[in-house]
Structure 1
Amino acid sequence: MTSHLPEQQNTADPFNSLFGFAFEALDDVGPDQRWSRYDDPGIPIGPEPVPDWVITDQAIETELGILKTGKEADVYLIERALPPGQGDRAVVMAAKRYRSPDERQFHRDTSYTESRRTRNSRDRRAMAKHTRHGRSVEAGQWAAAEFGVLCDLWQAGVPVPYPVQLDGTEILMEFITTVGGTGAPRLAQTRPEPDQLESYWEQLHQAMRVLAGRQQTHGDLSAYNILVADDRLVIIDLPQVTDIVGNPHGMDFLARDCRNVCDWFSRRGLLLDADDLLAELISYAW
């Protein structure tokens, strides 16, 4: 009788001829740790050129604690470091984790998503019925939307955190810090001198022009969604970036963004007119 059982494999050989691929067993990691998934199939990664600080080799990720709690997502600090014996490279990143809709303290107005479509009919039905699968799909959509926007805007030169990778409902991205290494404050927490205030406005004004030139607006722009990394502004919280042409509410969101930022700068002594800014940005969109 002919045996159909495979020959005994040499367990010392990392190449498994039965399955036809090489594999390497990973050691267990400690509490609050995991292996990085940067090169895993199906994991979207950030755009080229990849910054030098991004560790693309197999590494250990350690959760350092929570940085910020939000109404729809929480941000954690994650250290990615090479395993012992493979070097001393390490980097701290921000991990934004979206909650499912039933766990959120805030539910976004559907007017943000009127220009978006879900291709999978099963997902559309599940979202409409608010099933567990539908809620999971919705959380993943917001994460995917923000990751895609971060990639596009980073490539367009808009000051946003570099997006490292997307894994389900988690976005790993650049942790924005001051020169001293501490987390950058929000613009709303600062009291800039007149010269610095003008520099901040020039940076934000240019970013809004680039967005308008792409027929987009932030959709929820304010001094609370802008970080100050010493002399540099960085715009954050971008899942609701809106197509001001394709979305019927797009112009309303653009006008609100203009009012929010002009009011903040005007209250600090740099007088700006929201209507003039709106007219200028509309001219960039067409």
Structure 2
Amino acid sequence: MRKHDFDFDRLDEQPARRKSRRARFDDEPEPSRRGRLTEEERVRLAHQRADAYTETAIPGGGDRWSTWADGEQGPHPRPSWVITQLAAVDTELGVLKTGKEADVHLVRRGLPDGPQSLLTAKRYRSNEHRMFHRDAGYLEGRRMRRSREMRAIETRTAFGRNLIAEQWAVAEFAALSRLWSAGVPVPYPVQRSGTELLLEFIGDEDGTAAPRLAQVRTDEDGLRDLWYQLVSALETMAAHGLAHGDLSAYNLMVHHGRLVLIDLPQVVDIVANPRGLEFLDRDVRNAASWFAARGLPPEVLDPDALVGELRQAAGLP
């Protein structure tokens, strides 16, 4: 055969070369997002696809098997109520709160005919929001090493927004673990899987959540006690170089007279963050203003003195 001859008979013998796509079955979950995914998200989707082919029914009407083995686990000593058995199931009981960056759900984890515990599931959103609430200031001091990821975050691509959501979850879980170990009154952080946090439920056994401080009505003695509890918590945080960063009467809970700090994704490193002292000062003044408006006398509230004490506890001039 000459160089430019073509054997058309051989063409019929060649199988057609086409790009094939794997058929998708009706019970296979559709992909939930586009673009590059974080490693945690790839793992989560892999588990989801595997579950779609599993014919084993989840006992007790649960919504999923326990995810205890799939994520980062809380600090030791672990409370006795934390259920670590992989045979446990998680059951969704409803939505506790919806927010700009995350939704909070009530989940029951337990073994069939065995121990049960209520958990708060905080699930950060990513692609649904182009900008996280005031995240520019809070992310100071949390720079990522890989320039590609930093560019994605700064330009708010879908990948970048997912990274921001995961950064918030990682930061809040780390802060809760550190603060709980230091004795600060925060919910015990049970585990983190991707952008979901499972936390101690602050409320009653029937699923009634404890009220926010903004909803509490008490006398002057009760207010004074809650203020001193808050001061003690802020002092412990400052001693570890941290400030809440967004403190208000809406992210403090009161359960049977005990004050509990919640919503800590924006926790601020007072030293590493250039605006750390600004956030600390704002936290104190926001809280003091609320207590003053409820009738706590000025001789109890002294924001300037408290800020000075917190700076000293943090080892700052």
Q: Does TM, scored on the shorter chain, surpass 0.5?
A: yes
Where does 1:64-103 land on structure 2 (aligned, <5 Å)?
Answer: 64-82=93-111, 84=112, 87-100=113-126, 102-103=128-129
Instruction: Report percent identity of matched pairs.
Output: 54
1: distance between equivalents of 2:76 and 2:92?
Answer: 26
Structure with bigger gyration radius: 2
TM-score by length of 1: 0.85
- Determine which of 259, 262, 276 is the counterpart of 2:285: 259
The yes-or-no answer on 1:223 pairing with 2:253 is: no
Residues 195-228 of structure 1: per-residue CA shift (max 9 Å, x gap): 2111111111000001111121100011111000
Residue identity matched to 1:35: W
Contact 2:252 2:261 in 1 (8 A): yes
Q: Secondary structure at the match of 1:191?
A: coil
Where does 1:98-109 land on structure 2 (aligned, <5 Å)?
Answer: 98-100=124-126, 102-103=128-129, 107-109=133-135
2: distance between equivalents of 1:32 and 1:129?
Answer: 40
Contact 1:216 1:243 in 2 (8 A): yes
Residue identity matched to 1:158: V
Equivalent residue, structure 2, for 1:38: 68
User: How far does residue 131 in structure 1 lie from its aligned partner after superposition?
Assistant: 2.1
1: distance between equivalents of 2:85 and 2:295?
Answer: 48
Residues 211-250 of structure 1: per-residue CA shift (max 9 Å, x gap): 1111211000111110000110100000111111211111
1: distance between equivalents of 2:229 and 2:206?
Answer: 22
Residues 98-119 of structure 1: per-residue CA shift (max 9 Å, x gap): 0116437853241111111213
User: How far does residue 251 in structure 1 lie from its aligned partner after superposition?
Assistant: 0.9
Aligned residues: 257
1: distance between equivalents of 2:104 and 2:251?
Answer: 14
2: distance between equivalents of 1:255 and 1:238?
Answer: 17
Q: CA RMSD in A?
A: 1.9
Contact 1:179 1:230 in 2 (8 A): no
The unaligned stretches of length 5 or more in structure 1 are 1-24
The unaligned stretches of length 5 or more in structure 2 are 1-53
Contact 1:227 1:235 in 2 (8 A): yes
User: How far does residue 147 in structure 1 lie from its aligned partner after superposition?
Assistant: 0.5
2: distance between equivalents of 1:26 and 1:141?
Answer: 35
TM-score by length of 2: 0.77
Residues 144-194 of structure 1: per-residue CA shift (max 9 Å, x gap): 100010000000000000000001110000010148762100001011112
Q: Secondary structure at the match of 2:72?
A: coil
Where does 1:123-202 land on structure 2 (aligned, <5 Å)?
Answer: 123-178=149-204, 182-202=208-228
